[in-house]
Amino acid sequence: MNNTLTVEKLFSGRLLRVPDYQRGYAWDKKNWTDFLEDLDLLPRGKHHYTGTVVLDRVTKPPEGEAPEPSVWDQSGFGYEVFNIVDGQQRMTTVVLLLDAIRRELARDPAHKSLAQGTTAAYVRVPSAAGEWLHKLELNADSNKFWVNSVLADAPGPEPALNASQKRLAAAKAHFAAYLTQQREARGDAYTDWLLGLRTKITSNLVFDVGGGLRAAHGGRPLGVALRGPAAQSPLADGVRPGPTLMGRHGVRQAAARAAWVRRPAPGPAG
C-alpha cells in the first residue's frame, strides 16, 4: 500500500478524530493566506507534497487479521476510525476550505450534486442510525462549536468561547470572503476556477501518511518504512526536500514555508 495519499484517498473510508490531548486549532491569517497562495500557484495536474499526517487506528484488528470498518453510513458504506496523531492543523484547514467550496457550488443549480458529494466526502454523511457522521471531529474543547457553528448549514447561535474556536470562526470567514472576492473578480470564469480549485485540493495535494495504517511489508508503520530516519526529524510535520511553489514570491525559505508544512515544536500536536 502506497503511503503517499491525496486528500480524496485519505478521506475515503475513514473518519478522522483529533484526540483531546492535542492542542486546538492554531492557524491564523498568515497561514491561511500562504495556503491559498500555494494553491493559486500550483499548476493543474501537478502534485504538491504537503507534509506528513500520522494516524492511529482506533479499533485495531487481531494480529494477522485485516482491519474492518467499525461504522457504517445509511448507504451501507463502512468507515474505519483514526485518531490524528500529527497533521490536524492541515487537515482542519483542508476541511474548512472544502466546506467553503461546497457552499459556493450549492449556489449553482448545475453543481448542487457536486456540492452534496463534496459534503459527503469531506464534511459529513448520515449514519445508519440517522445521525451525522462528521468526516473530521476535533477535540472536546472545539468539536461542538466545529459541528454546530462552523460546518452546519444553518450555524447555531453559540459564540466562540476560546482561542481555538475564534480561529475556526475566523478561518471560515476568511475562506468565504476569499471565494466571494474571486467570484466578483472572475465573473463567468468563476465556476471553472472553483472546480479547478476543488480538484487541486482533493487530487493534487499529497500527504505522507504514517502510523496505524500498516505497510504490507513487515507490519511497520507507513512513513517509518519508507522515510527511515526522517521519521525522527526535528520538524514535526516531516518537512523534506521536494518541489515547492515559488512563483511571483521568489524563493521561499524553509521558515516561511513552515506556515503550511510544520507546527511549532516541541509538543504532540499537529
Q: Is residue 124 a contact partner of residue 135, using CB atoms and an 8 Å limit?
A: yes
Cell of 119: 459534503
- pLDDT of 216 higher than 80: no
- pLDDT of 259 higher than 80: no
* DSSP-assigned letters across all residues of 36-97: HHHHHHSPTT--EEEEEEEEEESSPPPTTS----SEEBTTS-EEEEEEEEE-HHHHHHHHHH
pLDDT for residue 269 = 42
Q: Hey, how many other C-beta atoms are within 10 angstroms of the C-beta on 199?
A: 13
Bigger pLDDT: 269 or 114?
114
Q: Comparing 31-40, 114-123, 191-200, 222-231, which segment has the lowest mean pLDDT?
A: 222-231
In sequence order, the β-bridge partners of residue 86 are 54
pLDDT for residue 204 = 97
Q: Is residue 227 a contact partner of residue 241, using CB atoms and an 8 Å limit?
A: no
Q: Is residue 64 a contact partner of residue 221, using CB atoms and an 8 Å limit?
A: no
Average pLDDT of the segment spanning 214-225:
31
pLDDT for residue 56 = 94
Percent of the chain with pLDDT over 90: 68
What's the chain's average pLDDT?
A: 81
Terminal-to-terminal C-alpha distance of the chain: 24
Q: How many angstroms separate the Cα of 10 from the Cα of each of 121, 197, 206, 241?
A: 10, 18, 9, 22
Q: Is residue 178 a contact partner of residue 34, using CB atoms and an 8 Å limit?
A: no
Q: 37-73: per-residue pLDDT in tens?
A: 999 999 988 999 999 999 999 988 888 888 889 999 9
